[in-house]
Amino acid sequence: MSRPVPLPWRLLPALLIAILAACGGRTTVTVGGVEATYQEARGLKDTLKAIRARNTDAAPDGTPLAEIVRRYGETRTALVRDLGRIDPSALGEEDRHAFEVMQRAPGIDLGEEKPPPDAPAAAKPDCAYDPAAVAKEGFDPLSERIYACYGQATENLIFEGKTLDRLTVFSLLPITGDRDRRRGLFLSMEPIWKAVNGDGGPGSPWRTLVRLSAARFREKNASIESSAALLGVDPGKVEPWLVSVLEAWRDATAGADLEPWDFGHAAGAMERALTPHIPRESLRPLNDRVYQDLGADPVLLGVEYDIEPRAGKDPVAYTDFAARPRRLPDGGWTTGRYRVSASYAVGGPGNLNELLHETGHAVHIAAIRNRPAFLDWPDSDTFTEALAELVALDLYDPEWQQRYLGRSVPGPDALRAKYSGIVMDTAWALFEIRMHRDPSLDPNQVWTDLMRDYLHIRPHLEWSWWAVRGQLIDLPGYMLNYALGAILVADLRARTRELYGARPWGDTTWYPRVSDRLYRFGLERPSRQVIEEYLGRPVSPDALIRDLRGR
With the C-alpha atoms ordered 176, 181, 183, 189, is the resulting torsion angle positive or negative? negative
Of 293 and 385, nearer to Zn ion (C-beta) is 385
Of 385 and 394, nearer to Zn ion (C-beta) is 385
Q: Read off φ and ψ for residue 333, nearest 5 degrees.
A: -130, 145
Using rule CB under 5 A, residue 362 touches Zn ion: no
Binding residue for Zn ion (CB under 5 A) from 135, 231, 355, 388? 388
Of 146 and 488, nearer to Zn ion (C-beta) is 488
Q: Nearest approach, Cβ of 225 to Zn ion (angstroms)?
A: 23
Q: How far is CA 120 from CA 112, 116, 117, 140, 145, in A?
A: 21, 11, 8, 20, 17
Of 348 and 485, nearer to Zn ion (C-beta) is 485
Using rule CB under 5 A, residue 342 touches Zn ion: no
Of 173 and 388, nearer to Zn ion (C-beta) is 388
Chain mean position to CA 400: 25
CA distance linking residue 268 with residue 207, whole number of Å? 33
Using rule CB under 5 A, residue 228 touches Zn ion: no
Q: Nearest approach, Cβ of 498 to Zn ion (angstroms)?
A: 24
Of 357 and 434, nearer to Zn ion (C-beta) is 357
Pairing of strands 157-159, 162-164: antiparallel
Q: Read off φ and ψ for residue 163, nearest 5 degrees.
A: -95, 125
Which SS3 state, helix, strand or coil, does residue 153 take?
helix
Q: Nearest approach, Cβ of 367 to Zn ion (angstroms)?
A: 16
Residue from 469, 491, 18, 445 nearest 233 by CA: 491
Using rule CB under 5 A, residue 409 touches Zn ion: no
CA distance linking residue 506 with residue 68, whole number of Å? 42
Which SS3 state, helix, strand or coil, does residue 150 take?
helix
Of 274 and 390, nearer to Zn ion (C-beta) is 390
Of 40 and 358, nearer to Zn ion (C-beta) is 358
Q: Nearest approach, Cβ of 164 to Zn ion (angstroms)?
A: 26
CA distance linking residue 160 with residue 143, whole number of Å? 31
Which residues are bridge partners to 64 per DSSP? 58
Q: Nearest approach, Cβ of 1 to Zn ion (angstroms)?
A: 8
Q: Nearest approach, Cβ of 144 to Zn ion (angstroms)?
A: 26
Of 22 and 316, nearer to Zn ion (C-beta) is 316
Q: What is the DSSP string of 148-198?
A: HHHHHHHH-EEETTEEE-HHHHHHHGGG---HHHHHHHHHTTHHHHHHHHT
Of 271 and 385, nearer to Zn ion (C-beta) is 385
CA distance linking residue 270 with residue 267, whole number of Å? 8
In degrees to the nearest 10, what's the CA dihedral of 357, 363, 364, 370?
160
Q: Nearest approach, Cβ of 384 to Zn ion (angstroms)?
A: 7
Pairing of strands 337-341, 303-306: parallel
Using rule CB under 5 A, residue 356 touches Zn ion: no
Q: Which segments of 209-317 are extended strands (E)? A: 303-306
**By CB under 5 A, which span of 6-14, 176-184, 262-270, 386-394 interacts with Zn ion?**
386-394
Distance spanning both ends of the chain, measured CA to CA: 35
**By CB under 5 A, which span of 33-41, 387-395, 494-502, 506-514 interacts with Zn ion?**
387-395
Q: Nearest approach, Cβ of 200 to Zn ion (angstroms)?
A: 34
* Positions 366 through 385 that interact with Zn ion (CB under 5 A): 385
Q: Nearest approach, Cβ of 197 to Zn ion (angstroms)?
A: 29
Of 242 and 388, nearer to Zn ion (C-beta) is 388
What b/e string do you get for 482-519 counting C-beta neighbours within 10 Å, with b at 16 or more? bbbbbbbbbbbbbbbeeebeeebbeeeebbebbbeebb
Helix and strand element counts for the chain (H, E): 25, 5
Of 40 and 354, nearer to Zn ion (C-beta) is 354
Q: Nearest approach, Cβ of 388 to Zn ion (angstroms)?
A: 4
Q: Nearest approach, Cβ of 120 to Zn ion (angstroms)?
A: 30
Q: Residues 247-266 vs Zn ion: string with x where CB under 5 A?
A: --------------------
CA distance linking residue 158 with residue 43, whole number of Å? 46
Q: Nearest approach, Cβ of 13 to Zn ion (angstroms)?
A: 28
Total residues at interface with Zn ion (CB under 5 A): 2
Cβ neighbours for 285, distance < 8 A, ≥ 6 positions apart? none
Residue nearest to Zn ion (CB): 388
Give the other-Cβ count within 10 Å of 539's Cβ: 23
Binding site for Zn ion (CB under 5 A): 385, 388
